[in-house]
Amino acid sequence: MPQQKMKRVKTTITVNGETREVEIEVPDIEAQWGDPSNMRWLGKRIPRVDGADKVTGRAKYTYDIQLPGMLYAKILRSPYPHARIRSIDASQAERLPGVKAVITDLTREVNYVGEEVAAVAAVSEQIARDALKLIKVEYEPLPFVVSPETAREPSAPRVTPQGNVRGGNPRERGDVDSAFSRSDVVVHEATYSVPPRSHCCLEPHGLVCQWQGDKLVAWASTQGIFSVRDELAGALNIPASNVRVICEHMGGGFGSKFGARAEGVICARLAKMAGAPVKLMLEREEEQLATGYGPGVTAKVKIAATRDGQLIAWESETYGTGGVWGEASVPLPYIYPVPNVRTRHFDISTNIGASAALRAPGHPQASFVMESAMDDLAHRLGMDPLEFRMKNDPNPVRQAEYRLGAERIGWQRRNRTPGAGSGVVRRGIGMASAVWGGGGGAGSRPTVRIGPDGSVEVRLGTQDLGTGTRTYVAAIVAEELGLDIKQVKALIGDTDYGYSGASGGSTTTASVAPAVKMAAMGAKERLLATVSQHLQVNPADLVLADGQVTVRGGSARTLTWKQACALLGKEGIEVQGEWNPNLQGSGVAGCQFAEVEVDTETGKVRVVRIVAIQDCGQVMNRLAVESQIYGGVIQGLAMALHEQRLYDEQTGRMLNPNLEEYKLPGSLDMPDIEAIVYDNPTGKVSGMGEPPVIPTAAAIGNAVFNAIGKRIHSLPITPAKVLEALGKV
C-alpha cells in the first residue's frame, strides 16, 4: 500500500489554559467533492437557509431599507426617442417645499424614450413626483427610428454618425457552395424571428445611498456588489475602498443588474447634495423603458443534409438591434456540428435604449432558429425529428438525455406526420436541446471562522440573486465539518467580506463553491491538528461527523464539537480559501420535450406538459437545481407564447411599458413540468442557472408544428398567427 503523502502545518493549541503555536504533520489530501451518496447535505434537497426569513418578511431587500431622515428620489425621463436638450429650468422644483436636491446635468442629447434627463430628491415620493412636473425642459426633436427593418433602409434617419448598420462580414468554414450542390436537393430555406424581451424582475432596479463622511454605503439590488462598488467609485471619483455595497437579498436580475447604472450614480449624487440618505427605486414603466432588454433576432436560414440525414451545410443571415450601440448576435449554427458553414450578422442601431444580457444571452434565440430549421428539414427528409437529432449530435450525455426525455414524454404518441390529428383541438409533441458553459473562475476569497465557543461563520462578498447561493455555501462548510447546516452562518452580500465576482453566465457556483470548499478544508485541517495534539493521535485517524470528533478504530475517545473548539484558544481559527480549478467543470447539456394542445378555431395554444432534463455535474443542492429548471421553463414558455415589446414607429414610444399589456404567463397558463436532474458524475461542479431557459420556446414551437402541420416562424406564437397559418383569417 503506497505511503500517504503528508505536509507540515502550523496550528495554535491550548493546553491547561496555555496557548501556544505548534507545527505538525497532516495528510496532504487532494480536494474532491466525493461520492454524493455518502454525503449528508451536498446533492440532497436542502430547504433554503433563508427561506423562513423570506416568507415571514424578515429578509430585507433593497426596497425594504428604511433609514432615519431618508429622502426619496425620482428621475425625469425623456418623452422623445431622439432630441437635443436646449435648456432645463428647475428653479420651481427647487423651491417646492420638501425638495432637498435637484440634478439637471445628466445629458444634453437623449437617444430613446425614457432616458434620464434630471432627478430630484424630496421628503416623500409624491413631492418628488410633483417636483418633476415643475422642471421645464426645452427639447429639439431629432429624426429617429425604432424598427430594425426600417433602420436598415438607406433612407432611414441616422442613429449614429457611423450609420445604422454594423457588421455583415461573412464567416465561413468548409466548402459551403459545394456542400449545398451535393445535398441530394434536400434543402430548406426559411426566415425565423424572435422579438426583444424584457427582464421583468420582481424587484425593480434601485439603491439606497448614505454618505458617512467621505465614505458611501449603498444598498443595491444587484448581481455584482463589487461591480457596483467599482462603478460608483469611478463615477464619483473616490477610492473603491470608500464604497461599501450591501445586497443581502434581491428579487431577480436575469442579467440586467450588474453595475450601479445611471440610477445608482444619480442616487449617490443626490444623497451627497442633500446630506441625507436617499432611496431611488424604479417604477415598472421605468423598468421597461430604461433597464435593458434581451435583443431579438431575425434569421434567414438555408440548411442541407444528405438523404440519410447527415447535416452537411448551413448558411444564415441574421440581424437584430440592441439599441444605439448594442449587439444582437446569436451563435449559429447551434448545438449540432455542421462541416460547411457560412454566416453573416448585422447589428442595427435604433432609438430604443441599450439592451442587456438576458438569461443565456443569444442562446434561446439561436435554439428557436436552429431547432425550427432542424424540425422542418427532418420533415422534408421524412425522418423522425428525434432520430435526426441523435444522428447529428455527438454529445454522449445529451444522447442519454434524449432517450430519457422521449420515454418520459411518450414520444411514440406524437403525430408521425405533422398535423395528422383530427378534431378541433389538436395535440402535438416537440423537442429541442441546450448547451452552456457554466464553468468558474478564480477570484473568490471566502473566509471560514471557527470560534472557541463552537460557532462557525463563512464570509464571502458574493450575492444570491435567487439561485440559493447562501444555502450551498453553508452546506459545503457543514458537510466538511460534519455539522448540521443550521450550525453554519453564511454571511454574503457585502463588499466588506472577501472578494467575489458578479453573478452571470452561470459561473457563480463553479467560482464560489470550490473556494468555499478549500476554506472549509483548511479550517478542518487546523481544527483536527489541534485535537490530535490533545488526544495524542494522528490527525488522519480523526473523523468529524454528526457534531463530534471521533478516533477511527472504535476508540472511546470522543469529543463533542464544542469540546473540540474549546481547544482552539481565544482567537479560534480563521482560514481564507482560494478557487481550486480541479473542483469545477464547464459544459452542460440538456434537452426538453413539450406537449401542446392547439385549438384550431380560436388559435389558442395551451402547453400541457414539459419534460426538462438538465445536467450540471456535481449537484450542490438538488432542490435548488430543480427550482432553476422550473424557472427557466416558465421564462421559456413566456418567450414562446406571450412576450413582445411593441413600439410605435410614429412616436418612438413603447406601447406596452407595463405588466398589463406586456404579457407574461399566469398560474392558469402553467403546464405540468417534470424537472429531471441528470446526474453526470464528473466530480466537478458546474453552473446551470441559464441553460433551462434555452430550449423551451423551440420545443413548444416544434410541438405546435407537430399538432397543426404549419410552422409559426416568429415568436410569440399568438392565436392570430396560428389562425393565419391555418388559413382562417
Residue 11's pLDDT is 53
CB 340 within 8 A of CB 313: yes
Q: CA nearest 50: which of 228, 250, 224, 205?
A: 250
For the cut 80, the answer to whether the pLDDT of residue 75 exceeds it is yes
pLDDT of residue 123 exceeding 80: yes
Q: How far apart are CA 347 and CA 327, in angstroms?
A: 6
Q: 213: which residues sit within 8 A by CB, 6+ positions away?
A: none
Question: Chain centroid to CA 134: how far?
Answer: 39
| pLDDT at residue 28 is higher than 60 | no
* Tens-place pLDDT, residues 366-402: 999 999 999 999 999 999 999 999 999 999 999 999 9
Contact indicator for 444, 430 with CB cutoff of 8 Å = no
- CATH fold label, 6-30+444-578: Aldehyde Oxidoreductase; domain 4 (3.30.365)
Say what the pLDDT of residue 7 is: 59
Q: Which amino acid appears at position 470 of this protein?
A: R
Looking at residue 1, its pLDDT comes to: 36
What digits encode the pLDDT tens for the residues 288-323? 999 999 999 999 999 999 999 999 999 999 999 999
Beta strands 311-321 and 297-305, pairing class: antiparallel
Distance CA(50)–CA(160), nearest Å, equals 48
Backbone phi and psi for residue 245, each to the nearest 5 degrees, phi listed first: -120, 135
Whether the pLDDT of residue 175 is over 50: the answer is yes
First-to-last C-alpha distance (Å) of the chain: 79
Closest CA to 302 of 369, 205, 249: 369
| Residue 199 to residue 697: CA distance in whole angstroms | 16
CB 404 within 8 A of CB 572: no
Which residues are CB-contacts of 661 (< 8 A; sequence separation ≥ 6)?
646, 655
pLDDT of residue 15: 46
Q: For residue 2, what pLDDT band results from cuts at 50, 70 and 90?
A: very low
φ, ψ of residue 728 in degrees (nearest 5): -110, 10
Q: Identify whether the C-beta of residue 474 lies closer than 8 Å to the C-beta of residue 532.
A: no
* Neighbour order of strands in the sheet with 558-560: 542-545, 548-551, 558-560
Cell 432542490 maps to which residue? 623
Instruction: Give the closest residue to 727 by CA, choosing from 713, 704, 714, 708.
Output: 708
DSSP string, 354-407: -----SSTTHHHHHHHHHHHHHHHHHHHT--HHHHHHHH---HHHHHHHHHHHH
Whole-number pLDDT of residue 4: 45
Q: Among 421-430, 618-627, 676-685, 689-698, whose mean pLDDT is lowest?
A: 676-685
- Using DSSP bridges, classify how beta strands 99-103 and 83-89 pair: parallel, antiparallel or unpaired: unpaired
Do the Cβ atoms of 350 and 148 come closer than 8 Å? yes
Residue among 439, 459, 463 nearest 577 (CA)? 459
Mean pLDDT of 247-267: 97
Residue 435 backbone dihedrals phi, psi, to 5 degrees? -145, 145
Separation CA 3–CA 613 (nearest Å):
43
pLDDT per position as a tens digit, 80-93? 999 999 999 999 99
Cis amide bond preceding 418, omega within 30? no
Q: Residue 395, Cβ neighbours under 10 Å: how many?
A: 17
Cβ neighbours for 649, distance < 8 A, ≥ 6 positions apart: 145, 146, 147, 150
Query: Alpha-carbon distance 318 to 587, whole Å?
Result: 26
Residues whose CB is less than 8 angstroms from the CB of residue 376 and which lie 6 or more positions away in sequence, other chains included: 188, 190, 705, 711
pLDDT at 188: 77
Task: Find out whether 718 and 729 touch, Cβ atoms under 8 Å.
Answer: no
Alpha carbons 278 and 218: distance in angstroms, whole number: 10
Q: Cite the residue boundaries of each domain of the chain with CATH code 3.30.365.10.
A: 6-30+444-578, 62-142+200-290, 297-438+585-725
Please tell me the predicted confidence (pLDDT) of residue 358: 97
Distance of CA 602 to the CA centre of its chain: 35
d(CA 309, CA 355): 38
Is the model's pLDDT at 185 over the cut of 80?
no
Closest CA to 67 of 241, 197, 246: 246
Confidence of residue 240 (pLDDT cuts 50, 70, 90): very high
* Nearest-angstrom CA–CA distance, 194 and 332: 14
- Taking residue 259's Cβ as centre, other Cβ atoms within 10 Å add up to 20
Residue in this structure with the C-alpha cell 463622511, named with its chain if needed: 213
Tell me how far the alpha carbon of residue 647 is from its chain's centroid. 26
* Backbone conformation region of residue 701, classed left if phi is above 0, alpha if psi is from -120 to 50, else beta: alpha
What crossing angle do the helices spanning 696-708 and 622-641 adopt, rounded to 10°? 50
Least confident of 19-23, 35-39, 188-192, 440-444: 19-23
Can you read off the three cell numbers belonging to residue 38?
455518502
Q: What count of Cα atoms within 13 Å lies in the side-chain half-sphere of residue 44?
A: 14
Specify the 3-state DSSP secondary structure of 172. Answer: strand
Per-residue pLDDT at 554 exceeds 80: no
State the Cα–Cα distance between residues 501 and 680, nearest whole angstrom: 26
Per-residue confidence (pLDDT) for residue 23, from 0 to 100? 62
Average of pLDDT values for 512-524? Answer: 97
Q: Does domain 62-142+200-290 have CATH number 3.30.365.10?
A: yes
Q: Report cis status (omega within 30 of 0) of the bond before 716.
A: yes
Closest C-alpha among 599, 627, 602, 601 to residue 612: 627
Query: Which string of b and e fits 615-640 if b means at least 16 CB within 10 Å?
Result: bbbbbbbbbbbbbbbbbbbbbbbbbb
| Fold of the 297-438+585-725 domain | Aldehyde Oxidoreductase; domain 4 (3.30.365)
Single out the residue of 588, 576, 401 nearest to residue 507, CA to CA.
Answer: 588
Which residues partner with 247 through β-bridges? Answer: none
Please check the confidence at residue 345 and state whether its pLDDT lies above 70: yes
The answer to whether 408 and 431 have CB atoms below 8 angstroms apart is no
What pLDDT, in 10s, does the model give residues 667-715? 999 999 999 999 876 789 999 899 999 999 999 999 999 999 999 999 9
**Per-chain mean pLDDT for the chain:** 94
What pLDDT, on a 0 to 100 scale, did the predictor assign at position 399? 96
Q: What percent of the chain has pLDDT over 70?
A: 95
pLDDT digits (tens, 9 = 90+) for 204-239: 999 999 999 999 999 999 999 999 999 999 999 999
- Cβ atoms within 10 Å of 341's Cβ, excluding its own: 18
Percentage of the residues of the chain whose pLDDT score is greater than 90: 90
